[in-house]
Amino acid sequence: MLTRKLHIDPINPDMGAIAEASGIVKAGGIIIFPTETVYGIGANALNESACRRIFALKGRPSDNPLIVHVSSLEMAEGIASIPAEYRDGIRRVWPSPITFIAKSNGTLQKAVTGGLSTVAVRMPAHPVALALISECGVPIAAPSANPSGRPSATNPRRAISYFDGRVECIIDSGAAFFGIESTVIDLESFTVLRPGPFTPEEIEKAFGRMPKVDAVTRGMAHSGVAVSPGVKYAHYAPKTKLLLFSGDIGELTGLLDGIQNLPPFAFIGSAESCKAVSEAFGCSTIALGDRPDLYKIAKNLYDGIIALDSLNVAFGIIEAFEERGIGLAIMNRIRKACSGTSFNSADGLSKILEP
């Protein structure tokens, strides 16, 4: 398959190119397009066969629902039953990187909802995405543009590496603004199912109540049911073993010194931590940004995780970050990328590295 590639300005989209992309969606094709969070792989949410193809392309489990992208609250209410008490709050925050789980009104097929009675819906804060959905006149079902379990595509280069020749069109609008997927909140329980750029503190300001944050939110547990993307299945993992160091970074060098025959490793973390670890061990490092700038850390996280696989090391170590604001989302993704494997002592690391 020859994949059509369209370069569209992320701020002032060319409506001719948008119309061309829209035609592909209306004809039942699959399109990769930018959002403010990551790139999505999308299809007409009302076209069941096209949506099933998304699952096949990603290797995605059929019970893992798709997020449906809309261009207005009215479009959202065409597929979901939005509780009246939340409408004003949703109007205040949309468009933004926040997804709401609400009861489906039966319009969507099981291929989109994962067989659930609920639907995940959001209005992306990206001019290209909004123009595309508006031009299509239908909601677009779109998970992140990556093979299931792999880090999401935060730029067109990564999306092309994953899906070139397998989809009808890829829109190139440069790097995504945030580089980490949307916040997902269940309206029934008012729980953050997946943390993202829209923080619990910001949700409290918009809705007048603080949402619940539990072990699933923090990436410390998996849900038994995939009510939302990112709550049941492993995500974001590199091919190289990645370990979370959950202690004080100042103790890491002494801890590693205590292990005999330590195999080659790489370190992922803040610029400050990378400098200290590199000076102590001369190992490869992947700096995500200055420690106080958590938004930059989040934006660079997936590229950093992917880069680990190119370093020819036995394993990687990634440091923990403060779970405030977007740091909650960063730690959710890190824990999932590490499959919950962490250490804070030499004995703990030695046991993990045992053959």
Amino acid letter, 249: I
Per domain, the residue ranges of the chain are 4-207, 241-353
How many C-beta neighbours within 10 Å does residue 304 have? 22
Residues 172-218 have pLDDT tens digits of: 999 999 999 999 999 999 999 999 999 999 999 999 999 999 988 88
* 249-303 residue pLDDT tens: 888 888 888 788 889 999 999 999 999 999 988 999 999 999 999 999 999 999 9
Give the 3-state secondary structure of residue 63. Answer: coil
**pLDDT digit string, tens, across residues 261-271:** 889 999 999 99
Residue 230 has pLDDT above 60, yes or no: no
The model's pLDDT over 308-328, given as tens digits with 9 standing for 90+, comes to 999 999 999 999 999 999 999
Q: CB atoms < 10 A from the CB of 214, how many?
A: 13
Query: Are the folds of 4-207 and 241-353 the same?
Result: no
How far apart CA 355 and CA 353 sit, in angstroms, is: 6
Tell which residue, 229, 276, 256, 272, has the closest CA to residue 343.
Answer: 256
| CATH placement of domain 241-353 | 3.40.50.11030
| Position 349 confidence tier, pLDDT thresholds 50, 70, 90 | confident
Check: CB of residue 47 under 8 Å from CB of residue 190.
no
Say which CATH superfamily domain 4-207 falls into: DHBP synthase (3.90.870.10)
pLDDT in the model for residue 234: 59
| pLDDT score recorded for residue 313 | 96
Cβ contact 318:245 at 8 Å: yes
Contacts of 115 (CB under 8 A, 6+ apart): 62, 63
- CA angle 212-326-124, nearest 5°? 90
